[in-house]
Amino acid sequence: MRKKKDLPLVILKSLEPFVNLRGDKFEVIEPKQNLLHVIDKEIDSSFHFIIEKYQKQGNGNFQFLMKRSPKSHNENGEYQTWVEIAHLSKQFESWIKLLDEYDTVNSFFDDPIIKSFEEEFFAEFELIEDEADIYPLNTNQILMLDSHLENIENKLSDFTTPKNASNIEDIKSEITELRENLTTKSKKWVVKKLTTVWAKIAKQGTKFIKSFLAESNKQIIVQGVKGLIEFVKENGTDLIN
């Protein structure tokens, strides 16, 4: 694994503003073999902003090899180029602006029903703490949520029909991805993903809402994620044992 003392101080200082950077549209993740790796927070998006390496020019200045997607308004594919260190922030701001415009543009590919349910469910969590964008759930919360998701996954097969089979598989796929990332993603990412699962379940009909999203059961999860473990112990011990 790369260590910070493997890099020149000028490189570390130029990347320092990104260390604790957070936003509604993006997430800074572990760079691994890269110097910087930022991804679009939308679950199924492949958009990214990556700094792969640096080089020193003959004049003593440094450059970064940047790779980003989308490239521009006209091209949504990947774009790679060398950029001066001084221009890094400008390149990143341009990328964020593209994400903002994708988020606000109306299209036939959006599902207003699922979006409405997502907003309703997400509002119940009231994630006002600053660290929700950075830190994960604690272990009790992770185990509680994993049990909740496992219960849903096991019961979904009983509600599968030829008509809704593809939708049920899509929900199961969302659950699998969420369970696999409970320990590696931020609290806010987990909650957003959970509300997407709930929203897709709600769209299947009132029978699904009654069976999977009864208010009492839903509140156990909401209060547990918000840290009110005593509420969970009193109202839903089966979810955390």
What pLDDT, on the 0 to 100 scale, is given for residue 184? 86
Structure tokens at 102: 């994708």
Q: Answer whether 239's CB lies under 8 Å from 224's CB.
A: yes
Measured distance CA(50)–CA(65) in Å, rounded: 8
197 within 8 A of 171, measured Cβ to Cβ:
yes
Work out the burial of residue 228: count CB atoms within 10 Å of its CB; fewer than 13 is exposed, 13-18 middle, 19 or more buried: middle
- Give the pLDDT confidence score for residue 128 in this predicted structure: 57
CA-to-CA distance for 182 and 177, rounded, in angstroms?
A: 9
The predicted structure's pLDDT at residue 130: 60
Q: What is the pTM of this model?
A: 0.72
The span from the CA of 218 to the CA of 121, in Å, is 9
Per-residue pLDDT of the chain (241 residues; tens, 9 = 90+): 678 899 999 999 999 999 888 887 898 988 999 999 999 988 779 999 999 999 999 898 999 999 999 999 999 999 999 999 999 999 999 999 999 999 888 888 888 899 899 999 999 887 656 677 778 899 989 999 999 999 999 999 999 999 999 999 999 999 999 999 999 888 888 998 999 999 999 999 999 999 999 887 888 888 888 775 444 445 554 444 4
**What is the reported pLDDT for 231?**
45
Chain centroid offset of residue 193 CA: 7
Q: What is the dihedral of CA 31, 55, 63, 51, to 10 degrees?
A: -10
Q: Count of CB atoms within 10 A of residue 69's CB?
A: 20
- Angle ∠(193,196,198) on CA atoms, nearest 5: 115
